[in-house]
């Protein structure tokens, strides 16, 4: 026999029930204890029940609770309106988790709480990580913007960027990012500095950096070149460069690099290397150069004398040093009569 209460009302959780309203602020996340979501295919069976459960364990999501994975209850959720009309008000679900059997009773409204938790588990988890980082970092916690940030809702969209479809909780994706040099190049220099020096269209950009430096430095017109093939003289003239970044760009529409497209790339999509607006793709590789100069021996000519032990020691010392242009000038004065560097 069908209940006198309509299905929509019966299966709707109370607005005050935990997890019924996940439009949360950052400050509220630390108090939110998410239940354990059973692995996929953990449900071994289920039976419908005509009894209306009143126990808190059947109606609410409690600490240390176990709820099913969304993929395991999709079919059950679809059947709820029909079985409710047949007089059923709850379901007993049997789980098998790591060889352990257990059965839990779920009021229909708790099933909808389970759906909400499954759909937002990533957002909740990443937000917890953000809040933990902020609260354990004295510099961030002492910021005058701390309290204002904690009052923000996690599903607000970030403002002030080219991309406006990124919600605040997605900042958590950056926490586990390994900030290698390619990422820094991509985020800070790719859309502006790397493109501007090249007035003509090109498919490849070569950008040099100082070997041994803690990060990427020195991006200027003098060390940004159109290809790896034309940067030989710049290696000595500009810096003692040992690492170059080879940024290859390809426009799907024109099959070649277009600077205007680079400026239209959505920064929010930098991890995937493409954008839905212009569909420009790129690949950034690190090129480790064994030498910071071109071939010293003309093809077919005689080989020079092998370096002496003291020559090797001098070279090794220079390679490991962080040299200024003045120091390079001094070294060249001592070893080369004519060189392209003026006194610094």
Side-chain half-sphere of 96: how many Cα atoms within 13 Å?
Answer: 6
In contact, 67 and 117? CB cutoff 8 Å = yes
pLDDT, position 146 = 86
Would you list the DSSP string of 13-25? Answer: PPTTSTTT----B
Two structure tokens written together for 213: 């430096």
122-126, 144-148, 260-264, 322-326 — most confident range: 122-126
pLDDT in tens, 241-252: 344 445 555 555
CA 191 to chain centre: 18
User: What is d(CA 53, CA 11) in angstroms, rounded to the nearest whole number?
Assistant: 12
Two structure tokens written together for 278: 């212009």
**Residue 209 vs residues 118, 287, 292, 324: alpha-carbon distances, Å:** 45, 11, 11, 13
CA 240 to chain centre: 32
Phi then psi dihedrals of residue 247, to 5 deg: -100, 110
Two structure tokens written together for 212: 């041994």
Two structure tokens written together for 341: 């560097």
pLDDT at 240 over 90: no
Mean pLDDT over 96-121 rounds to 91
pLDDT, position 197 = 43
**More confident site: 215 or 149:** 149
Strand partners, 225: 206
pLDDT in tens, 64-98: 899 999 999 999 999 999 999 999 999 999 999 88
Domain ranges of the chain: 7-123, 181-291, 306-344
Phi then psi dihedrals of residue 58, to 5 deg: -95, -15
pLDDT, position 252 = 53
User: What is d(CA 31, CA 124) in angstroms, rounded to the nearest whole number?
Assistant: 11
**The model's pTM:** 0.49
User: In this structure, how many other beta carbons lie within 10 angstroms of the beta carbon of residue 274?
Assistant: 16
In contact, 143 and 189? CB cutoff 8 Å = no
Percent of the chain surpassing pLDDT 90: 20
List the one residue out of 344, 319, 342, 343 whose CA is nearest residue 243.
319
User: What is d(CA 305, CA 308) in angstroms, rounded to the nearest whole number?
Assistant: 9
pLDDT at 113 over 50: yes
In contact, 26 and 152? CB cutoff 8 Å = yes
């Amino acid at each position: 026999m069908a209940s006198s209460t309509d299905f929509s009302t019966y299966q709707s959780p109370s607005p005050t029930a935990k997890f019924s309203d996940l439009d949360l602020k950052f400050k509220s996340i630390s108090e939110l204890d998410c239940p354990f979501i059973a692995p996929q295919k953990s449900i071994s069976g289920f039976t419908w029940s005509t009894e209306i459960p009143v126990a808190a364990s059947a109606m609410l999501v409690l600490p240390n609770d176990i709820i099913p994975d969304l993929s395991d209850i999709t079919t059950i959720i679809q059947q709820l309106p029909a079985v409710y009309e047949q007089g059923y008000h709850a379901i007993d679900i049997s789980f098998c988790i790591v060889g352990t059997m257990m059965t839990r009773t779920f009021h229909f409204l708790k099933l909808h709480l389970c759906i909400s938790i499954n759909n937002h588990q990533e957002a909740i988890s990443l937000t917890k990580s953000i809040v933990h980082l902020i609260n354990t970092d004295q510099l961030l916690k002492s910021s005058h913007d701390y309290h204002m940030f904690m009052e923000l809702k996690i599903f607000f969209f970030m403002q002030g960027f080219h991309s406006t479809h990124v919600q605040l909780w997605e900042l958590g994706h950056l926490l586990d990012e390994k900030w290698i040099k390619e990422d820094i190049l991509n985020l800070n220099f790719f859309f502006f500095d790397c493109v501007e020096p090249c007035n003509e269209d090109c498919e490849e950009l070569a950008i040099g950096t100082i070997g041994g430096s803690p990060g990427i430095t020195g991006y200027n017109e003098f060390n940004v070149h159109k290809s790896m093939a034309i940067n030989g003289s710049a290696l000595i003239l500009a810096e003692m460069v040992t690492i170059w970044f080879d940024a290859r760009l390809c426009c799907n529409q024109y099959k070649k690099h277009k600077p205007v497209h680079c400026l239209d790339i959505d920064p929010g999509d930098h991890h995937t290397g493409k954008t839905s607006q212009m569909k420009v793709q790129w690949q950034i590789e690190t090129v480790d150069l064994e030498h910071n100069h071109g071939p010293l021996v003309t093809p077919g000519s005689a080989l020079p004398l092998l370096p002496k032990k003291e020559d090797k020691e001098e070279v090794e010392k220079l390679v490991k040093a962080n040299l200024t242009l003045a120091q390079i000038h001094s070294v060249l004065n001592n070893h080369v009569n004519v060189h392209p560097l003026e006194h610094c």
